Amino acid sequence: MQNWRLPAEWEEHRACWLAFPTDRSLWGNHLEAAQGEFLALAAAIGASERLEILVTNAQDKQKLTAALANCNYRCHSIPYGDIWLRDTAPFFLVNETGGQRAVCFAWNGWGNKYFLEHDDGVAAQIVQSLGIEATSYDWVLEGGAIEVDGTGLCLTTKQCLLNPNRNPSMDQTAIETALQAALGLTKILWLDRGLVNDHTDGHIDTIARFFAPGKVLCMEPCRCDDPNTEALTEISATLYQWQAQGILKEVVCLPSPGLVLDEKREIMPASYLNFYISNATVIVPTYDAPWDEDAVAIISKCFPDRKTIGLSAKAILTGGGAFHCITKQQ
Any idea what DSSP says for residue 278?
-
Q: Please name the residues in contact with 20: beta carbons below 8 A apart, sequence gap of 6 or more.
A: 35, 38, 53, 54, 55, 56, 60, 63, 64, 83
- Report DSSP state, residue 267: B
Q: What is the mean pLDDT of residues 296-317?
A: 98
Q: What is the mean pLDDT of the chain?
A: 96
Burial class of residue 101 in the structure, from the number of CB atoms within 10 Å of its CB (0-12 exposed, 13-18 middle, 19+ buried): middle
Residues above pLDDT 90, as percent of the chain? 98
Quick: pLDDT tens for 180-218. Answer: 999 999 999 999 999 999 999 999 999 999 999 999 999
* pLDDT bucket at 98, cuts 50 / 70 / 90: confident
Residue type, 309: I
pLDDT for 2 equals 58
| Over residues 227-241, mean pLDDT | 98
The helix-helix angle for 31-46 and 58-67 (nearest 10°) equals 50
The three-state secondary structure class of 61 is: helix
Rounded distance, CA 196 to CA 269, Å? Answer: 6
Determine contact, residues 278/49, Cβ cutoff 8 Å. yes
pLDDT at 119 over 90: yes
Residue-wise pLDDT tens digits, 286-303: 999 999 999 999 999 999
pLDDT attached to residue 231: 97
Q: Is the pLDDT of residue 262 over 50?
A: yes
pLDDT at 115: 84
pLDDT of 1 strictly over 70: no
**Which sequence positions are flagged as catalytic?**
325
Q: What is the mean pLDDT of residues 99-124?
A: 95
Which has the closest alpha carbon to 226: 267, 192, 193? 267
Query: What is the maximal distance between C-alpha atoms in the chain?
Result: 55
* H-run or E-run covering 191: strand 187-191
Instruction: Write out pLDDT tens, residues 22-74.
Output: 999 999 999 999 999 999 999 999 999 999 999 999 999 999 999 999 999 99
Assess if CATH 3.75.10.10 describes domain 15-329: yes
